[in-house]
Chains A and B, each alone.
Chain A
């Protein structure tokens, strides 16, 4: 296992189009997180899953955003009717949720979205 994998790495789309990003976490990790990072800023929390259950959603996650994690494995983040303000790097991270959990997140390389 080589770590958290995200696809596509870069997506360019026109305003109003829908986009979907995929994240494959480290296989034994039951927690999966989505963050958004704009240029020069720190990652901002969007949502996270424990197995297939979505346990928390940020207020940043508008109605146009939806995330799923069917079967508690990979996750998808869909943005509908994209706006230029959605342009950002979307980061996925995973972690263990068992005893001995140290709080560390393991990040993927991110999916960069550019909305024209």
Chain B
């Protein structure tokens, strides 16, 4: 079974600065998706960024970028120019890319990192 580990329960960053959230995962598969989801307080979880394992190029979405190290099974999220609205729980998640009608369809989440933005 796949596992996702987020070793930083809490992080804080000064507004406008850069912060990196860590994530490692364990899998025997070669093709999969990795995600970072953001969960603001009392709000629904939304996708921040997605990475396909077969792509060597790191994904970027505006101020958000990832450092995907497939061999090391590492998938960190960098937030540049941090804003007050970035304060939230951030979850790293894994999903197999193997198509199946009998499983492997679920996302496996880490335990999350609570990000605080200091004004």
A positions within 8 Å CB-CB of B:
3-4, 31, 33, 40-45, 48, 50, 55-56, 91, 93, 97, 102-105, 107-110
Contact = CB atoms under 8 A, between A and B. Distances in A.
User: What DSSP secondary structure best describes chain B's contact surface?
Assistant: loop
Nearest to B99: A101
Given A41-B112, A42-B91, A42-B112, A107 B45 contact: yes
Contacts of A108: 44
Nearest to A102: B50
B105 A56 contact: yes
Contacts of A50: 101, 105
Contact of A42 (B44, B50, B97, B109): B109
A22 B11 CA distance: 35
Contacts of A104: 35, 47, 50
A82 to B, nearest CB: 23
A108 to B, nearest CB: 6
Contacts of B101: 50, 55
Nearest to A33: B106
A100 to B, nearest CB: 12
- Ordered nearest first, which 3 A-B pairs have the shortest CB separation? A42-B109, A103-B33, A107-B45
B103 interface: yes
B91 A31 contact: no
Given A50-B101, A102-B33, A45 B107 contact: yes
A40 B91 CA distance: 11
A113 to B, nearest CB: 15
A56 B106 contact: yes
